[in-house]
Amino acid sequence: MTVVTEETDDQVRDPVFTGPGTPAGRLMRSYWQPVLQSRDLAAGTAQPLTVMSEQYTLYRGEDGVAVVMAPRCAHRLTVLSVGTVEGDSLRCMFHGWKFGPDGRCVEAPGESERLVSRASVKVYPTREAYGLIFAYLGDGEPPKFPGLDGFSRTYGHDLGKATTLDTETYVRRCNFFTNVENGLDHAHVPFTHRLSSDPSKTKTGFSPDAVHQEPIEVERGENIIRVRERGGKSPYQATFLMPNGLHLIVGIRDGIMEQFAWRVPIDDEQHRSFAIVARYLPDGPAPRAAAVDVADWPPADECAELIIRGEKRLVDFVDHPALVNIEDHVAQVGMGRLADRTHEYLAESDKGVVQLRRMWRRELDAFADGAPVRQTW
Ligand code: FES
Ligand SMILES: [Fe+2]
């Protein structure tokens, strides 16, 4: 695991290093970030959490409120995530000190009132919305919470009118920025996803000449970059939102899919993606086909690792329900967990990626000069 904690000249303008104290890490911590799907944290449970190479404790009180807290107890520093939830508080498993959702010690068996009133652990602002738990892990006051509804009404389709609304998450074992850039890399779609878009291609072979590569247009706003297919016939629209967000609209078989996604670093060599997925289906949800049980298959990241190592091929997973994810995973992790981008050969089709890197650099410079972050939504 690579964790960079001290600045060097190279890292000053590089988004890929987000450990504590790094320039990109400070910028990323200045925005709300999703940290877990709501359904993955039951009331009365606690778990450890790693975001941007830092440890935290995440628990949900019996009152249903999610709390992001320091990783270690204020007393003798054991991990709080193995403690027990009591009411809205968390009791350490070592000597039983109990901390409330504001981080204050509320009980320390055998200790004085004075000690109890003084002991505390750090807690972080936490919000829950659209099936995701978000935390603000930076210093000072958090910025306004992302207004996804308004953004969707202006640039998308209106989340409030979606036929289905769900969340999705996965871990990908490469730097988060590789996936952020992929959001504006429209040229990869007909190639990387040729199998998932038409499984018959396994039999007929594949000719690059047969692929219709749509020309794209790139539109740049103050804090966003939008990529569309030129000509405006396709509903396809990918909008990068500083610093690690993507708003995506794609045509699907029965209608339109709109997605808000965040690629959140676990550390510098792996990240977790969180997405809010809205589907607009004019004829309503299709009756469920024979259920494809995801549990019957290995997780997408494991399949991708087998393919990268040459032990399996993509066609071996043609029926995998997460084939699209496996395809992206292979392409992105195939670049290396922390890709050496100094050896790339960028081309015309990379103009979205180039704009994205420029925007990040500009924002890093402005942030280093003390400018406040600009909320995109
Ligand atoms: S280390 Fe937590 S109570 Fe002692
Ligand atoms: Fe993709």
The CATH number covering residue 55 comes to: 2.102.10.10
Q: Which of 128, 159, 176 is the last residue of a domain?
A: 128
- Is residue 124 over pLDDT 60? yes
Span of 4-8, 120-124, 322-326 with lowest mean pLDDT:
4-8
18 is a domain residue: no
Q: Collapsing DSSP states into helix, strand and coil, what is residue 202? A: helix
167 contacts 131 by C-beta, under 8 angstroms = yes
Residue 4 has a pLDDT of 47
- Domain count for the chain, please give it: 2
Ligand nearest to the CA of 250: 2
Residues 39 and 93 in one domain: yes
| Banded pLDDT at 291 (limits 50, 70, 90) | low
- Any domain includes 119: yes
Residue 201's pLDDT is 63
358 and 239 both lie in a single domain: yes
Residue 82 has what pLDDT?
98
Protein residue whose Cα sits closest to atom 3 of ligand 1: 95
**Ligand 1 atom nearest 97 alpha carbon:** 3
**322 occurs within a structural domain:** yes
pLDDT of residue 342: 86
User: Is 2 inside any structural domain?
Assistant: no
Tell me, what's the pLDDT at 377? 78
Question: CB within 8 A of 81, min separation 6: which ones?
Answer: 46, 47, 48, 49, 57, 58, 59, 71
User: Considering the domain boundaries, does residue 310 fall inside one?
Assistant: yes
Q: What is the pLDDT of residue 84?
A: 98
Q: Is the pLDDT score of 220 beyond 80? A: yes
- Residue 9 reports pLDDT greater than 60: no
Instruction: Give the pLDDT mean for 296-321.
Output: 94
Q: Is residue 213 predicted with pLDDT exceeding 70?
A: no
Claim to verify: residue 64 and residue 198 sit in the same structural domain = no
Which among 275, 53, 42, 284 is positioned nearest to 166, based on CA atoms?
A: 275
- For the Cβ of 72 lying below 6 angstroms from any atom of ligand 1, the answer is no
Distance 162 CA to ligand 2 centre (A): 23
Query: Looking at the structure, do residues 256 and 355 belong to the same domain, yes or no?
Result: yes
Domain boundary at 99, 128, 157, which? 128
Domain membership flag for residue 373: no
Range of the domain at 172: 147-368
- Ligand 1 geometric centre to CA of 102 (Å): 18
Please say if the pLDDT value at position 312 is more than 60: yes
Quick one: 45 and 178 in the same domain?
A: no
The predicted pLDDT at position 1 comes to 47
pLDDT of amino acid 2: 46
Residue 116 has a CB neighbour count (10 Å cut-off) of 17
202 plus 241 within the same structural domain: yes
Q: Tell me whether residue 188 is in a domain.
A: yes
The pLDDT assigned to 5 comes to 47
Rounded Cα–Cα distance for residues 38 and 167 (Å): 9
